[in-house]
Amino acid sequence: MTIKRLLIIVALLINVKVCAQQESSQKSILPPLASREISGIVKDTLNIGIPGVTVRLTSEKDTLVVATSPDGGFTFRNVKSSVYIIAVNSIGYKAFVAKYKQNDAVAKIVMAPIILNADSKTLDVVVINGAPSITYKTDTVEYKASDYVVRENANVDELVKKMEGMEVGNDGSVVHQGAPIAKAKINGKLYLGGDVATALQNLPAEIVEKIQVVDDYGDQAERTGIKDGEPEKILNIVTKRNKSVGNSMNVAGGAGNNDRYEGSVFATSLNANQSIGLNVRLNNTVNGVANNNGNFGGGNGNNNGGAGRGNGGNNTPNLNAFGGSGGTTNNGNSSFSYRDQINSKIKINTNYRYSFNNTNSLNSSIAQIPSVR
């Protein structure tokens, strides 16, 4: 009897332990994260970090490109997928491509070191004229504009699109290594209120000496040297010395049927410590007018119709309705910026913005209700 009781107790203890392990494993399953940070390092066979290597991350949701830091490290921020492909390319080394599958519930992932093997087909000595394209400083990543080829008369946005780790949207927004650029500056000063799209889409690429991405902790941090909180990403355009003085103007316009129009004026004047900028955009949209078939041409008109039911018997009269809307929407926005350093103690910085939206609309409808007998 004693042995039988002992076996029952042992069986109960084993069952309790198994249940506890199952419950613990269920509790440890965490929901997947929307994004994550992935970092790593690229080394050679001597275990030395390789700087300036291009590292590309691609997945169904991501396409990110960065260059390694002086110690060979790299970081991808806001990576949406935990399954991705890493491709590494560098002169003098064999290309590296590998697929990774990480835990989608981990916020910060540190990859195993990527080892590049020397390419025996390359020259024993590679001579590169000029400085590297990317320079890493404290809180600053710097690109040399002369290392990138753009078309004649291209704007700054075309130049920035060619730089590693930069993504430029159709609206002029810029993302650097997964982090959005908040403001734009010229030679360290806000330009037209810091609007990124205005600077990139209007300034000529030929005036650019360097493009800098700066971690800005605010004016107080600049004065005190104490950095607190998350920094803003600032795009700073450093102009060439022989291009720091000059005037530029872009005028564009267009017209269409139904009195539609679009126009823009961009003008800038740079003179050492003084800069003046003006940006004006005007346009209108015309909504269509109904035709005899209840359809609307060239606009946003909608057909309106319905049905009415009689009060007696099974008679259901038909309601034929025709309706439409028309009108004009006028849009405009403008910005003006003036900055001047009078002397070491007097500085002027003025920004002004104005926008309007004016809509004139006309609505009409005709309903025909047949008589019911």
Output phi, psi for 141, to 5 deg. Answer: -115, 125
**In which residue are the tokens 């084993």 written?**
14
Under 8 Å between Cβ of 167 and 56: no
Task: Tell me what pLDDT residue 109 has.
Answer: 94
Half-sphere exposure of residue 182: CA atoms within 13 angstroms, side-chain side: 10
Beta pairing partners, 275: 270, 339
**Architecture in CATH of 134-243:** Beta Complex (2.170)
Written as six digits, the tokens of 267 are 């003008």
Task: Tell me what pLDDT residue 288 has.
Answer: 53
Alpha carbons 304 and 323: distance in angstroms, whole number: 6
Task: Tell me what pLDDT residue 166 has.
Answer: 84
Q: Kindly indicate whether the domain formed by 36-116 is annotated with CATH number 2.60.40.10.
A: yes
Task: Tell me what pLDDT residue 52 has.
Answer: 86
Query: Residue 202, class by beta-carbon neighbours within 10 Å (0-12 exposed, 13-18 middle, 19+ buried)?
Result: buried
Task: Tell me what pLDDT residue 330 has.
Answer: 80
Provide, for the chain, the percentages of residues in helix, strand and coil under a 3-state DSSP scheme, each rounded to the nearest 5: 15, 50, 35
> Helix (H) and strand (E) counts for the chain?
4, 22
Residues of the chain with pLDDT under 70: 1-2, 4, 6-7, 10-28, 120-133, 244-247, 270-273, 286-327, 361-373
Domain boundaries, the chain: 36-116, 134-243, 270-310+318-368
**In which residue are the tokens 């039988």 written?**
4
Task: Tell me what pLDDT residue 373 has.
Answer: 53
Give the helix/strand (H/E) hosting 334. Answer: strand 318-341
Written as six digits, the tokens of 368 are 């025909």
